[in-house]
Amino acid sequence: MTARIGVVTFPGTLDDRDTQRAVTLAGAEAVPLWHRDKDVKQVDAVVLPGGFSYGDYLRAGAISRFSPVMATVIEQAHAGMPVLGICNGFQVLCEAHLLPGAMLRNTGLHFVCRDQKLRVETSATAWTADYAAGEEISVPLKNIDGRYTADERTLDELEAEGRVVFRYLDVNPNGSLRDIAGISNAAGNVVGLMPHPEHAVEPLIGTGRTDGLAFFTSVIKKLVSA
């Protein structure tokens, strides 16, 4: 069985091609999905890639959340399909209420672009099984609306339920509460993070490391073994 992973393109998406390449390098079939189509072509998982969908008008991800494809993604995510939101995709997942919390403008009010160290807090998600809890990785980060925020009750629930998936190490680049770089839903099939693992899958690009490839091999193994 070859896993089929859909990659959604919204108007303003920048990293769909990079994400498709990461999926292919990991050993799955990358399936392009257009935001206007409700049909997700019987894919086994979906990635919402980074960019500036609809120019980040209103709020980052606020308009994309209402694209026709998202109705199907939301339905399938509730049914257990793995969904990964990267940067703008994370923002869309929050706007769609597949993940709690929201993204605010970075505390420095500047666009941040850097190689970012992260700590993997859990391997118990569809997208992190090939990592070890406590493992430190480095992947590129690039955002201006990357400050994760939620009320204290939600933050405490995320901590207690092991749903903080990644934390920033050494420096918090955007002021995210509790250094949170990525979270999951309760079932662990939906994950969102601000850094870009698709830019760390080949030695010649990004950080010069392949620390991001395990996102995609993790979900492939889960799909194949299901």
Q: Is 191 within 8 Å of 85 (Cβ atoms)?
A: yes
Given the residues 35, 95, 121, 196, select the one marked as catalytic: 196
Catalytic residue among 35, 94, 121, 198: 198
CB-CB contact of 151 with 140 (8 Å):
no
Q: How far apart are CA 83 and CA 89, in angstroms?
A: 10
- Those residues whose C-beta lies under 8 Å from the C-beta of residue 58, and which sit 6 or more positions away, are none
CA torsion sign, 12 to 17 to 18 to 22?
A: positive
Direct distance between the N- and C-terminal alpha carbons of the chain, in angstroms, rounded to an integer:
11
Cβ contact 173:147 at 8 Å:
no
Please, are residues 167 and 183 in contact by the beta-carbon 8 Å criterion? no
Q: For 220, left (φ over 0), alpha (ψ -120 to 50), or beta?
A: alpha
Number of Cβ within 10 Å of residue 44's Cβ equals 23
Query: Rounded CA gap, 79 and 110, in Å?
Result: 38
Q: Active-site residue among 35, 87, 94, 95?
A: 87
Per the annotation, the verdict on 196 as an active-site residue is yes
Q: Is 211 helix (H, G, I), strand (E, B) or coil?
A: coil
* Catalytic annotation present for 87: yes
* Active-site annotation, residues: 87, 196, 198
